[in-house]
Structure 1
Amino acid sequence: MKRIYSRRLLLGAILFIAASTVYLTAEAISAHAWTDPEYGYAFHYISDLGVAKRMTIDGRAVFSPLANVMNGGFISYGILSTSAYLLTIRLVQKKARALVSVAAVVQGIGNVLVGLFPGESYSYANMHVIGAGMAIIAGNLTLILMGIYLNKQYSVPKRVAIGLGIFGLLALSTMLTYDFGYPAVFERLSVYTMTVWNLIIGIWIVRRLRKGPVRVLGK
């Protein structure tokens, strides 16, 4: 049984790393393809990379030649990250597994919605905005919950997860409530907490498994 779950943990770790790698690669490729207008990481939202139409959104000239790449990245990230959380859920205390799983699934669905409904409109009733809210809020909450309910002996990843999750929610709150002239910066800060965490926990699990079986909390 331990051997079987070690394999699940390893697969989960691989999917965590794959989720962030696919997402960041899709973003980099899509951004590099912008030539007219030039894509600005501090000015354009991540979602702008999924808009295939030439248009102006809130004063931003938008046209993403490789919109399908970015939208595919959103969808892939949602599926991979959710799968990774579910495969590694036994690292979490039993009493909180359902809560962490629900939060992880919600963020995954949110990312899929972001990819299926490109950011051509930012009205609050738009499915893209709803999906983005689900992905960012639930995603950072998943980090916080994961940190709180991880096995107590894993003190370093616990602190990192909680810190990143809180930072991500604060960045989102700042983007929505204050105008510093670069809202896309705070959007990215609220999203990259999750991609960074995936890489950290994925690598940590792989390294931990190389030392021997990882202690899990109940069945």
Structure 2
Amino acid sequence: MNLSRPARIGALCWMLAAPLFLAANVIVGLRWTRPPFSWAEHNISDLGNVGCGIWDTTRPRYVCSPWHDGMNVSVLVTAMLLAAGTVLTWHVAGSGRRARAAQSLLLLGAVGYALAAAYPADVDENAHVLGALLIMGMGNLGLLLAALAPRATTLGRLRALTLPMALLALAGTTLFFTQHGLGLGVGGMERVAVFPLPVWACCVGVIAQRLPAPHHSRSAAEESTRR
């Protein structure tokens, strides 16, 4: 299979999303001092909260993120990269109901990132929670459907990569919402639920970049050279 220029740009967008998102988690977290940011105790959302104080009645914890604006901007750009990657590689993934349903759910997951960034938890908790549900619910279900796409499709050929990621993300989602950390802490379990999707997209982007350009593009270039 050959990769068109728009699809190659989409694959590049997918490649960039995970490094940006992970870097934001690390760098913004390092700016916390009192108390230090904990991946086991604090949620990802805590990095984007605009105010300082005790947050969350279920798991009360002190939240104060000096670089919350940087986190929210990074998450918004992550959303744009994931959405652009999904749209620009739309026809590459293959045809069929499962492939299209998977892509639609992955796109909803990207919308979830945008909502979470635009509405920090301490600004509009309902909108933020909706964003989280789209990420961990719709996005991770999209990952599972992508794993179950027919093997004749591009998504289906990546099943060995996609299925473990989907199962890990869905297990993390279930454990996070039931508040079971299993030694990682509830905050750590949230990362088990959230990180697989952008990491999968990054891996798929790398794989897609290795595909050749369309034959007709090369032929046109060769014809132009002859002239």
Bin of the TM-score, shorter chain as denominator length: 0.7 to 0.9
Instruction: Pick the structure with greater CA Rg.
Output: 2
Runs of at least 5 residues in structure 2 that lack an aligned partner in the other structure: 216-227
1:142–1:118 Cα change, 3 Å: same
Name the structure 2 match of 1:30: 28
Which TM-score applies when normalising by structure 2? 0.82
Name the structure 2 match of 1:198: 201
Checking the alignment, whether the CA contact within 8 Å between 1:91 and 1:150 is kept in structure 2 is no
Moved over 6 A (4+): none
Name the structure 1 match of 2:144: 144
5-14 vs 168-177, greater mean Cα deviation: 5-14
Name the structure 2 match of 1:107: 109
Checking the alignment, whether the CA contact within 8 Å between 1:33 and 1:64 is kept in structure 2 is yes
Name the structure 2 match of 1:12: 10
Checking the alignment, whether the CA contact within 8 Å between 2:48 and 2:69 is kept in structure 1 is yes
Deviations 1:68-125 (A, max 9, x none): 11111221111110110111122333223542332122111111110011122796xx
Checking the alignment, whether the CA contact within 8 Å between 2:114 and 2:131 is kept in structure 1 is yes
Name the structure 2 match of 1:174: 175
Checking the alignment, whether the CA contact within 8 Å between 1:164 and 1:197 is kept in structure 2 is yes
Give the secondary structure class of the aligned counterpart of 2:50.
coil
Percent identity over the alignment is 25
Name the structure 2 match of 1:132: 132
Measure the CA separation in 2 of the matches of 1:37 and 1:99: 43
Which TM-score applies when normalising by structure 1? 0.85
Runs of at least 5 residues in structure 1 that lack an aligned partner in the other structure: 215-219
